[in-house]
Amino acid sequence: MKSIVEAMQWRYATDKFLDTSIPTETLNTILEATRLSPSSMNFQPWKYISIQSPELREQIFEAGGKQEAIKAPTLLVLTIPNILTTHNVDNVVLAAAKARNADPSTLTGYRSMLQGFVDKTAPEKFFDWSRRQAYISLGVLLSTVAQLEVDAAPMEGFDAPRVNEILGLTDSSAVTLIGLGYRHPEDTHQSWPKVRFDMEEIFETR
Ligand SMILES: Cc1cc2nc3c(=O)[nH]c(=O)nc-3n(C[C@H](O)[C@H](O)[C@H](O)COP(=O)(O)O)c2cc1C
């Protein structure tokens, strides 16, 4: 297996994919690593929708400016809730109780902390907050696929309201499309040099 730095050098935002599907076991590893992503207060405000229907994919292709990568063998849509409510609090508390083999009623302190956050947050702030959390999981996904030598195309350039409409999303919204698969030898993007700021430009010591 490549080291993490080798994997991050190897990966690139893929434009054109082969038709080859990702083996189920590999896809499950990618999804499991993504599922294990951390988030603030453990709210996990994300849901990935795998697009299997050719009709839905075609409509998303149109809504995504006909980007070639939307034709990748696997297409995921990263969605986030529009707001957080007591329902989200309940879900987190129940998951914690299940994982710890505890009665949810014993987690009142944790519940109060989560509910306090929901109560004090202005509704229009939730979306940006959830997007920040969801992008942690997107980062985990992108580095996991690189280590597994699976190619990825994250895409923000699409008509989100239109994709929400296509998928019938009312309480949540699409924030990123992710094509996954294997690079086509004719994809010229793979030969582009990696463009990143130098270390001293992004890290400093004080
Ligand atoms: C969240 C996110 C959204 C992106 N959206 C698009 C997009 O809509 N279209 C596109 O061509 N590239 C998109 N990219 C690819 C970036 O332009 C690319 O990752 C960046 O230029 C660095 O190049 P590299 O990933 O090949 O190293 C996106 C990347 C990220 C992380």
In a domain, 39, yes or no: yes
In a domain, 92, yes or no: no
Backbone angles phi, psi at 73, to 5 degrees: -55, -40
In a domain, 112, yes or no: no
In a domain, 103, yes or no: no
| Whether the CB of 13 sits within 6 Å of ligand 1 | yes
Residue 51 in contact with residue 77, Cβ under 8 Å?
yes
> Could you tell me which of 186, 196, 187, 127 has the C-alpha nearest to residue 152?
187
Range 83-110 average pLDDT: 96
| Whether the CB of 194 sits within 6 Å of ligand 1 | yes
* 99 pLDDT tier (thresholds 50, 70, 90): very high
Task: Report the CATH number at residue 128.
Answer: 3.40.109.10
Range 27-39 average pLDDT: 98
Task: Give one word for 31, left, alpha or beta, with left for phi > 0 and alpha for psi -120 to 50.
Answer: alpha
Q: What is the pTM of this model?
A: 0.97
Distance CA 128, CA 116 (A): 18
Atom 29 of ligand 1, nearest CA residue: 154
35-48 residue pLDDT tens: 999 999 999 999 99
| Whether the CB of 14 sits within 6 Å of ligand 1 | no
Provide the token pair at 57: 């994919």
61-90 residue pLDDT tens: 999 999 999 999 999 999 999 999 999 999
Query: 121-135 in b/e burial notation, b at 16+ Cβ within 10 A?
Result: eeeeebbebbbebbb
Total structural domains within the chain: 1
In a domain, 94, yes or no: no
User: Containing domain of residue 168, as a range?
Assistant: 4-84+121-202
Strands ordered across the beta sheet of 47-50 = 47-50, 74-81, 172-181, 151-155
Q: What percent of the chain has pLDDT over 70?
A: 100
| pLDDT recorded at residue 85 | 97
How many angstroms is it from 196 CA to the middle of ligand 1? 13
**pLDDT > 90? residue 206:** yes
In a domain, 89, yes or no: no
Q: Which sign does the torsion angle of CA 137, 142, 143, 145 carry?
A: positive
In a domain, 107, yes or no: no
How many angstroms is it from 152 CA to the middle of ligand 1? 10
How many angstroms is it from 13 CA to the middle of ligand 1? 6
In a domain, 188, yes or no: yes
| pLDDT recorded at residue 1 | 83
